[in-house]
Amino acid sequence: MGETIKIAGADGFEFSAYHEPAFTPSKGGVIVIQEIFGIDRHIRADVGRWAKMGYHAVAPSLYDRREWGFTAEHDPAGLQAGVGHARATPIEQALTDIAACRDFLKSHGAAKVCVVGYCYGGSLAWLSACQLDGIAAASSYYGSMVQANAALEPKCPVIVHLGRLDAGIPADDVEAAVHQHHPDLPVYIYEAAGHGFNNESPERYNAEASDLARHRTLELFDNA
């Protein structure tokens, strides 16, 4: 069973995080980075999936300094609230909280720590791979900031997942930007999927794309 814990950030603030130990002998740790909607049922479910696949998983609540335990529905009001929190949360602050999760997992026996992120978290997964030490591998799902930060040099293996039908993130442009600087970095475009295809909300979920992207991510993490 997963539970909510507290982890101390670099500034001493204790933010909340949802975590679940590995169901099987642990392969390592996975940091699950939230969408803009906070640590909602979809992110908690993803933590559980990674635990079942053999990883001690933890998802930091990155908006806690602004609104403790924030979650939002996937409706216009929730979107507006989530975007507001994301824009008001400094990237460096989010990255130091992710680093604190890395240290938490390593202190609890994780031989390696990987990062997976979705939407807002997809951008942070890419930035974590490029700016944080001690990350073994990263999987970035439909992050809107990947294109603008494509020139950064990853410190670990990274893969990128994009939906062809994503109206807000032009898949071909992101792929071109990444490959301009990193020709061999895998960028996967899922032709029948839109934004948020890993999220099991009916309006966004694409089971085929989700399963394939998770298989690719698991293979990356297992071999890191």
Q: Select from 118, 126, 108, 124 the least CA-distant residue to 57.
A: 108
- Residues 215, 219: Cα–Cα separation, whole Å: 6
Residue 126: the pLDDT is 98
Q: What is the pLDDT of residues 102-154, one digit of tens each?
A: 999 999 999 999 999 999 999 999 999 999 999 999 999 999 999 999 999 99
Q: Residue 202: pLDDT above 80?
A: no
Give the mean pLDDT of the chain. Answer: 95
R_g (Cα) of the chain, nearest Å: 16
- What pLDDT is attached to residue 24? 85
Report domain extents, the chain.
3-222
- What's the CA angle centered on 66, arms 162 and 114, to 5 degrees? 40
pLDDT value at residue 199 = 84
| CA geometry: angle 165, 120, 18, nearest 5 deg | 120
Architecture of domain 3-222 in this structure = 3-Layer(aba) Sandwich (3.40)
In this prediction, residue 17 carries a pLDDT of: 98
pLDDT grade, residue 204 (50/70/90)?
confident
Residue 67 reports pLDDT greater than 90 = yes
Q: Is residue 1 predicted with pLDDT exceeding 80?
A: no
**Residue 27: how many other CB atoms lie within 10 Å:** 20
Q: How confident is the model at residue 71 (pLDDT cuts 50, 70, 90)?
A: very high
Q: Which amino acid is at 123?
A: S
Over residues 144-159, the pLDDT tens digits come to: 999 999 999 999 999 9
Query: Chain-centre distance of CA 173, in angstroms?
Result: 21
